[in-house]
Amino acid sequence: MSHRRALLLMVLVTLLWSSAGIVSRQLESARPFEVTFWRSAFTALTLLLWWGLREGRAGLAPLLHPSKALWASSACWAVMFTAFMVAVSISPVAQVLVVMSLGPLMTAVLAWVVLKQPMALRTGLAVLLACAGVAWMFGGDAKPGWGALVALAVPIAASTNWIVLQRFGRSSGTVSLPHAVALGGLASALLTLPLAWPFHASGADMAWLGFLGMFQLALPCVLVVHLARVLSATELSLLGQLELLFGVAWVWWLAGEAPGPNTLAGGSLVLTALFLNELRRRPALEPLA
């Protein structure tokens, strides 16, 4: 896969990820933990059915692979799937997004420490500029609270996962890291089931939750695993910031929530950071340790 094609697919990934906010506004009676449970369960079910129908037992066999990379990535996905919805349920969405914006900086630092990847000055400045842009977008709405501590688990798990994917995604021929997404969904569903019961979701809610599981999580999360073979860990995390811009655009277009001047200014900084990071990039892949 070419670098340019990988970039375009990563943009599609962030577009699908960003639909969570506007879809959640369509729910009628599903509670936060119930939303988390069904979203994670539908994600796992979608992937398991796809592999089972397409490849039979061979498609499901990688789930039992005794690999530290597989289980480490699964744990990261489970934390991300669960912590995001829990944080949103107990704190403003803006606060969660501000905390999540720390992901690129954490990823860059971890890639430097763990993978021994040299951090280009351009990338370092782009990461800082993107974080500043996100803080500008949502900083005025953020308020301290317990939700910030829960939300902090999202960028920590995400940056750790990017490092796992970058370290093993290109070299591990026997480990199927896409199956880690399914295992993460199963773990998240099991963790939240006691808190989600009894269920209150309506039929319409279930349709929206099915969409979240299949197209907002399963498809893009598996795509990003494959993209980790082409894009660096820092690139993946930095391009993931587009999720915030797309999320604002969804609610502006479909819910009539026009962004204020801070949102527009901060969003411009994020786009500038992405552009500067890709400007004059070498076509070759960044080396792994």
Instruction: Tell me the per-residue pLDDT of 43-102, one tens digit each, with 9 for 90 and over.
Output: 999 999 989 888 888 888 888 877 778 888 899 999 999 998 878 777 766 667 677 777
**At 283, which helix (H) or strand (E)?**
none
pLDDT digits (tens, 9 = 90+) for 108-143: 788 888 877 777 788 788 878 878 877 777 665 555
State percent of the chain over pLDDT 70.
85
Angle formed at CA 289 by CA 79 and CA 119, multiple of 5 degrees: 75
pLDDT band at 9 (very low <50, low <70, confident <90, very high): very high
> Is the pLDDT reported for residue 213 higher than 80?
yes
The pLDDT, as a whole number, for residue 246 is 86
**Helices H / strands E in the chain, number of each:** 15, 0
Tell the burial category of 62 from Cβ atoms under 10 Å away from its Cβ (0-12, 13-18, 19+).
buried
> Is the pLDDT reported for residue 144 higher than 60?
no
State percent of the chain over pLDDT 90.
26
pLDDT band at 274 (very low <50, low <70, confident <90, very high): confident
Tell the burial category of 116 from Cβ atoms under 10 Å away from its Cβ (0-12, 13-18, 19+).
exposed
Q: Which of 6-10, 123-127, 134-138, 158-162 has the lowest mean pLDDT?
A: 134-138
